[in-house]
A and B are shown apart, each in its own frame.
Chain A
């Protein structure tokens, strides 16, 4: 089935740093979504991308839908402590199975000790 490769698996941030993570797939997706999950909670939608090449911002978050439709990245600028959590990318195809939404394994953001 379709799979998403998300990287990095984990990273440490220092307040004020910019953060970047990405997802790649061997398959084409019609939509890319980015979610954030805090401990004990379900994932919350951050950004949705619907067109190849689309660049969308939500506050300090910026995400792009790759032109090949096989990848997406998420950038967080000037990180703050509440940015810690697990970030998931998800790809969606309208005509596929698996509920149309395939998730990456997540990028865990932690604060530098």
Chain B
């Protein structure tokens, strides 16, 4: 597509439930990134996919967080047993090449109640 698409745009969930966040990158972009932005904070790196290589998961905050990227395109970030501190905006970005700036989606605002 023309831009990075994320869904849902907003998600309210109860503590302890699992959630799935979806990212549809720009067509042809080989790299895909997930970031988390808490209120008033900068962007915290979560995970990075590059082509068929093993993902860089070094930013995932706990084993409740996981992500996959199917067919080198769409990615899903899953948070299991959500906690209130998971409330944040989850941003996805894609890029054609690691040396260029990323194009971000509008994010999914997750609220855990």
Contacts and interface: CB of A to CB of B under 8 A. Distances in A.
B42 A101 contact: no
Contacts, number: 60
Query: How many of chain B's residues touch chain A, expressed as a range?
Result: 20 to 34
B58 A42 contact: no
Interface of A: 6, 31, 33, 35, 40-45, 48, 50, 88, 90, 92, 94, 97-106
Given A35-B104, A43-B91, 17 more contacts: A40-B106, A41-B107, A42-B4, A42-B107, A48-B101, A50-B99, A94-B99, A97-B56, A98-B45, A98-B48, A98-B56, A99-B45, A99-B56, A100-B48, A100-B98, A101-B45, A102-B45
Interface of B: 4, 33, 35, 41-43, 45, 47-48, 56, 58-59, 91, 93, 98-107
